[in-house]
């Protein structure tokens, strides 16, 4: 079994599985975010549920964290191994002749996404943990009011144009990452048959729609705060 875990193919498959999990997570995340555009209440209710439901908080959240960390750590491990497989570089290398830029630069789009996640954690997740588990305020209310705080906080974050710009750039790169990653995950798991064309189309649609959704939410709140 140890041979299996350290084998190149098993690692690819693990990358693919964590990727598919994250792809699924993005749909949920966007679904919640998008409600903020048309219904403050619904957004607040959903956010409160997600933030306080024990199943989400203590079962799904750790799994998600693990998935994210695993995907990054394994990505770095594979990148290092691949670097070792190609010590001497070509003086002239015309990668564009045979592959897309995104497929060759997953590590860089990945790094930008990592930076974004750090920012995202600083913005939302750490304050959230602070309020809920350090201060013990599980109410989800704005201080001194009877209103949920989630929507207010969300709007507040998108006041700064620099932050909005960073979000937009990050999501564009996420889109590129997904443009290759989506179908790649299927290929890694051995899925390549007559449905591959459909998977590719689906992947393209997904890699445009999901990042676009996040960008719309950010820009909407920037314009409407």
Q: What does the binding site for other proteins look like in residue numbers (CB under 8 A)?
A: 3-4, 6-13, 78, 81-82, 84-95, 97-100, 103-104, 106, 180, 183-184, 187-193
Least distance (Å) between residue 11 CB and other proteins: 7
Q: Is 207 exposed, middle or buried (0-12, 13-18, 19+ CB in 10 A)?
A: buried
How many whole angstroms separate alpha carbon 209 and alpha carbon 207? Answer: 6
Rg (CA), the chain: 20
Report, in Å, the least distance between residue 54 CB and other proteins.
Answer: 34
Using the minimum distance from each CB to other proteins, give the nearer residue, 2 or 146: 2
Looking at the Cβ atoms of 7 and 201, the one nearer to other proteins is 7
Q: Where are the alpha helices (DSSP H) in the chain?
A: 2-6, 8-38, 40-52, 54, 61-85, 101-104, 106-120, 126-129, 150-157, 161-188, 196-223
Which residue's CB is nearer to other proteins, number 104 or number 204?
104
* Closest distance of CB 72 from other proteins, Å: 15
Nearer to other proteins, 64 or 189 (CB): 189
């Amino acid at each position: 079994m140890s041979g299996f875990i350290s084998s190149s193919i098993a690692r690819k498959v693990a990358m693919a599985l964590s990727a598919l999990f994250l792809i699924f997570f993005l749909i949920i995340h966007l679904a919640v975010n998008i409600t903020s555009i048309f219904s403050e209440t619904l957004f607040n209710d959903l956010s409160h549920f997600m933030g306080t439901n024990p199943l989400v908080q203590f079962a799904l959240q750790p799994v998600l964290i693990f998935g994210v960390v695993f995907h990054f750590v394994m990505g770095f491990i594979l990148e290092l191994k691949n670097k070792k497989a190609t010590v001497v570089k070509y003086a002239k290398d015309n990668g564009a002749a045979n592959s897309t830029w995104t497929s060759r630069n997953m590590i860089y789009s990945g790094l930008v996404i990592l930076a974004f996640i750090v920012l995202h954690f600083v913005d939302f997740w750490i304050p959230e943990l602070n309020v809920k588990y350090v201060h013990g305020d599980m109410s989800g209310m704005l201080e001194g009011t009877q209103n949920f705080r989630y929507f207010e906080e969300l709007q507040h974050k998108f006041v700064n144009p620099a932050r909005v710009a960073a979000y937009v750039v990050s999501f564009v790169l996420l889109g590129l990452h997904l443009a290759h990653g989506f179908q790649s995950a299927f290929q890694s798991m051995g899925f390549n048959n007559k449905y591959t064309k459909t998977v590719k189309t689906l992947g393209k649609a997904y890699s445009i729609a999901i990042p676009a959704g996040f960008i719309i939410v950010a820009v909407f709140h920037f314009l409407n705060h």
